[in-house]
Amino acid sequence: MGYRSRYHTPQGPIQARSLSNLKINLSSPSVAPQKCLNMPRGGASNDSKDASPRLPLSVYLSSLPSLLHGYDTGVIAGALLYLVPALGLESAPGLVGLMVTACTLGAILGSCIVNSLLSSFGRIGTLRLGSWVFFFSSILSGLSPNYWSLVMARFMAGVAMGTSSATVPVYISETSPADCRGKAATVPQFMISSGILLSYAVDLAILATFGGKWRVMLGAAVLPSIAMMIGVHTLVESPRYLASKGRTEEAFENLKKIRGTEDVGQEWSDIVGGLKSSQKDDAAPRASLSDLLKNPFARSRLIVMVVLQAFQQLCGINAIVYFTPLILREAGVSSILSRLVSDGNAASMLSTIVAYAPKIPALVLAGKLMDRMGRKKLLTTFTPVMGISLVTLASSFRWLPAGSKLRGALAVMSVMTYGIVFCLSLGPVPSILSSESFPGEFRSAGMAGSVAAQWTFNAAVSLMFPIMQAKVGTENVLWGFAAMCALATAFSGKFVVETKGMKLEDCGGS
């Protein structure tokens, strides 16, 4: 089917009515490229006094699901200290792994259905639906009477995680200017890490106030879920999505709202040009994953993204996130915090917060470096440091006596360093590349496939970590994670394609 018959407006086909009727002057040299967040209206000019807060606000509001993602990921770490004995799971590492992994299993389901949701409900509609799932799962978590109801609640939260983890990067990539898309795309990872840190702080506060009531820890997610519901209901739909559906009037108006300026002619022409290109290739407006796999270019991009997502998990990040308090307790951190807290669980949570907090400024730095160093350079520079940190942590278990202050201090420093360099490499980059690397018609399907791989490997690592920890010891598991960091570095250097500074349509070869 040709381009002319595909894209219609209320006044007729888009080609039948000139783009000039939309008050766009495509030939005007005064249309400056849109600059990074918080630039004045009209692009790069500093003479304008009107700020354009819409883009930064939309980036942060659309990333609120990532805050819930982080909270639900991290809150179980502190709750485990009390859940395991309360539910009699001390001798059942498999059940502990299943409870931790329930979110991830739900996320796999969410990532499998998200492509259909994105097509039917749009980017914003999918986020709004997810906000309600987050809300009800938080209530159920806080009221869970037994093990299996808690597993079900976490599975529900995972479904929302799976849909949002694919939707948020796509929305941000489609609504951000090319020269700061990398910076904007680090915001979801920033929010995930902020959510994890928030969950650790909430766990510690509840421990100090209520004596470790795990249901209160889990149920506290209701508050950020309400914030998410409010935030995503203020967002406007992606112009690229609307244009792909033939809703060109609404798409153009939303583009002006997001940019905060009338001067969006060049960007609008790029969007329309990308749609024309996809029509020349006879691609469907929404391609399924099976359609993607039939396209050699898109299939090769998906393979690289899947392998990157696999390395992100096989390097151990979520095992570290979920089980940091247990790892640090085993490392003997209570010995270095004995003057501050006497309770071993409280010492573990406090040291976890200390180790995790530097990830937040690290992600701010990642936002600055993403469009300077580039995605590939960040991967090849900082992923090896992740491996070195894991080797150091494993070595502290092997050669330093249990309970020594040096062992505890080295463990905290290793986890801290690991978290920092993860935020500069394998943390944000795989999802950013996944949201950029596919042609427009395959973007939703490609992102869904990439995220499904991420959650599948997340589930495998999270489920197996407590079992492997019990069988071969924490030290040997950490050595395995370090080896994966070395392989990830080599793979990134050979196969990852740089997208820094490119227009979204050019990144995907449209």
Percent of the chain with pLDDT over 70: 80
* pLDDT of 133 above 70: yes
| Amino acid making up residue 412 | V
CA of 447: how far to CAs of 249, 302, 359, in Å? 27, 9, 25
- Is residue 183 a part of any domain in this protein? yes
Question: 2 lies in a domain?
Answer: no
Task: In whole angstroms, give the CA distance from residue 510 to residue 508.
Answer: 5
Cβ count near 467 (within 10 Å): 14
Does a structural domain hold residue 164? Answer: yes
Residue 266 has pLDDT above 70, yes or no: yes
Residue 52 has pLDDT above 50, yes or no: no
Q: Which residue has the higher pLDDT, 197 or 281?
A: 197
pLDDT at 19: 39
Buried b vs exposed e over 105-122: b needs ≥16 C-beta within 10 Å? Answer: bbbbbbbbebbebbbeeb
For residue 460, which of 307, 304, 314 has the smallest C-alpha distance?
A: 314
**Tokens (6 digits) for 43:** 């692009």
261 within some domain? no
In angstroms, how far is CA 172 from the centroid of its own chain?
A: 11
Give the span between the Cα atoms of 467 and 487, in whole angstroms.
24
* Domain that residue 325 falls in: 54-240+285-507
Mark residue 91 as left, alpha or beta (left: phi above 0; alpha: psi -120 to 50; beta: remaining). alpha
Token pair belonging to 124: 């914003």
Q: What is residue 338's predicted lDDT score, i.e. its pLDDT?
A: 53
Beta bridge pairs of residue 8: 13
Q: What is the pLDDT confidence band of residue 60, given thresholds at 50, 70 and 90? A: confident
34 pLDDT above the threshold of 50: no
Q: Where residue 309 sits, what CATH number does that domain have?
A: 1.20.1250.20
What is the Cα–Cα distance from 161 to 70, expressed in whole angstroms?
A: 9
- Measuring CA to CA, which residue among 389, 371, 472 is closest to residue 36? 371
Torsions phi, psi of 9, nearest 5?
-120, 175
What number is the average pLDDT over the span 98-103?
Answer: 85
Cβ–Cβ < 8 Å for 465, 323: yes
Average the pLDDT over 341-364 and give the result. 75
Q: How far apart are the first and last CA of the chain?
A: 18
Report which of 270, 161, 282, 156 is spatially closest to residue 506, judged by C-alpha positions: 270
Please determine, for residue 387, whether its predicted confidence score (pLDDT) is greater than 90: yes
What's the burial of 292, exposed, middle or buried (CB within 10 Å: 0-12/13-18/19+)?
A: buried
Top mean-pLDDT range of 214-218, 386-390, 456-460? 386-390
Domain count for the chain: 1
> Where do runs of H (alpha helix) occur along 315-374?
317-331, 344-356, 359-370
> Higher-confidence residue: 107 or 400?
107
| pLDDT value at residue 418 | 92
- Predicted pLDDT of residue 509: 59
Cα separation, 413 vs 372, whole angstroms: 28
DSSP 3-state of 40: strand
Buried b (16+ CB within 10 A) or exposed e, 304-336: bbbbbbbbbbbbbbbbbbbbbbbbbbbbbbbbb
Distance CA 53, CA 260 (A): 8
With a CB cutoff of 8 Å and minimum separation 6, the contacts of 342 are none
pLDDT at residue 335 in the model: 56
Does the pLDDT value for residue 205 go beyond 60? yes
Q: Is residue 40 part of a domain?
A: no
Q: Is 223 helix (H, G, I), strand (E, B) or coil?
A: helix
Residues 6+ apart with CB under 8 A from 290: none
- CA-based angle 65:446:197, to the nearest 5? 25
DSSP at 124: H
DSSP string, 11-30: TEETTTS-GGGGT--TT-TT
Give per-residue pLDDT as tens, 433-457. 998 888 877 888 888 899 889 888 9
**Confidence label for 37 from pLDDT (cuts 50, 70 and 90):** very low
For 23-38, what is the mean pLDDT?
40
Asked if the structure places residue 443 within a domain, the reply is: yes
Dihedral angle computed from the Cα positions of residues 367, 372, 373 and 375, in that order, rounded to the nearest 10 degrees: 60
Residue 435: in which H helix or E strand, if any? helix 429-436
Instruction: Give the pLDDT score at 340.
Output: 57
Residue 116: inside a domain: yes
Q: pLDDT at position 64, please?
A: 92
pLDDT above 90: residue 152: yes
Nearest to 185 by CA among 270, 271, 66: 66
Return mean pLDDT, the chain.
79
Chain centroid to CA 472: how far? 31
pLDDT of residue 329 exceeding 50, the answer is: yes
Q: What was the pLDDT predicted at 429? A: 93
Residue 230, pLDDT score: 92
Q: Give the tens place of pLDDT for each residue, 279-322.
A: 555 444 557 788 888 889 989 999 999 999 999 999 988 777 66
Residue 253 lies in a domain: no
Six token digits for residue 129: 């639906």
- Model confidence at 258, pLDDT cuts 50, 70, 90, reads confident
At 174, the amino acid letter reads E
Range with the poorest average pLDDT among 4-13, 363-372, 386-395, 416-425: 4-13
Higher pLDDT, 45 or 347: 347
Distance CA 299, CA 279 (A): 19
Please say if the pLDDT value at position 160 is more than 50: yes
| Residue 459 pLDDT exceeds 70 | yes
Determine the residue type at 11: Q
Phi, psi (5° rounding) for residue 367? Answer: -60, -35
